[in-house]
Amino acid sequence: MTVEEFVQSLAQYGIILNSKQIQQFERYFELLIEWNSKINLTAITDKQEVYLKHFYDSILPLWEVPLENYDIKVCDVGAGAGFPSIPMKIIHPELNLTIIDSLNKRIKFLDTLRGELELDSIQLVHSRAEDAGQNFNYRGQFDLVMARAVAPLNVLAEFCLPLLGKGGSFWVLKGGHKQTEEELRIAQKAVNVLGAKIVEVKKTKLPFDEGERTIILMKKTLDTPKKYPRKAGKPAKSPIE
């Protein structure tokens, strides 16, 4: 996907990029490649692939599960190089964004990115998700929590749902439809135990036949029991089943 195709594709969904936003995405790509030579941020480095498989892919939920209001508190768990939340933030600067990531090198990249792209209202938290979920500064504090390709869904639910306030939404960005259906089946108990329900599963595809995408939308209906999330490492070793 060329830059021109990226701009035109977003316009089809009512997202009209101004010159500043186009420059922000261009600088984002440059910094991603520059830092990727020092720390492992992404295996995708071709410019057209970055625009399609990182930038476009990150923005895709904005029209698949649109929000009525973007002036909300958002948390991106395990964002790595900033996906999906930084591309969304470029589109909607009013988002009040917190990014939680366990690797300090990635946090340093995101700090540089925040400054270079002149993005305000971004809090960067160097922490394991399990620790953040038991921290009163973050537990139950967000209107929207999102994660992209971080862990199996039953593990991801324990990472993310404790951070979400009651009535809030959890967006999970996954790949292939069949694999995601199996993850959904396995994760049903964990989702219920953690105080949420699955309300919608959106199935779509990237342009140019570049792969299936699945967006899972959950709603937080009850407070998460205090014992969750368990200590760091426990959810991945012994998922709720």
Report pLDDT digits (tens) over 20-73.
999 999 999 999 999 998 898 989 999 999 999 999 999 999 998 888 888 899
pLDDT at 79: 85
pLDDT at 69: 86
CATH homologous superfamily of 59-237: Vaccinia Virus protein VP39 (3.40.50.150)
Q: How far is Cα of residue 187 from the mean position of the Cα atoms in its chain?
A: 19
How far apart (Å, rounded) are the C-alpha atoms in residues 38 and 94?
A: 31
The tokens describing 197, both together, are 């329900």
Kindly state the average pLDDT of the residues 195-211. 90
pLDDT at 241 over 90: no
pLDDT at 180: 86
β-strand pairing of 164-174 with 196-205: unpaired
User: Does 78 belong to an annotated binding site?
Assistant: yes
Sign of dihedral through CA atoms 94, 96, 99, 104? positive
User: Does 129 belong to an annotated binding site?
Assistant: yes
User: Does 114 belong to an annotated binding site?
Assistant: no
User: Does 130 belong to an annotated binding site?
Assistant: yes
First to last CA, the chain: 40
pLDDT at 74 over 90: yes
User: Does 190 belong to an annotated binding site?
Assistant: no
How far apart (Å, rounded) are the C-alpha atoms in residues 69 and 24?
A: 23
Q: Taking the complete model, does pTM exceed 0.75, yes or no?
A: yes
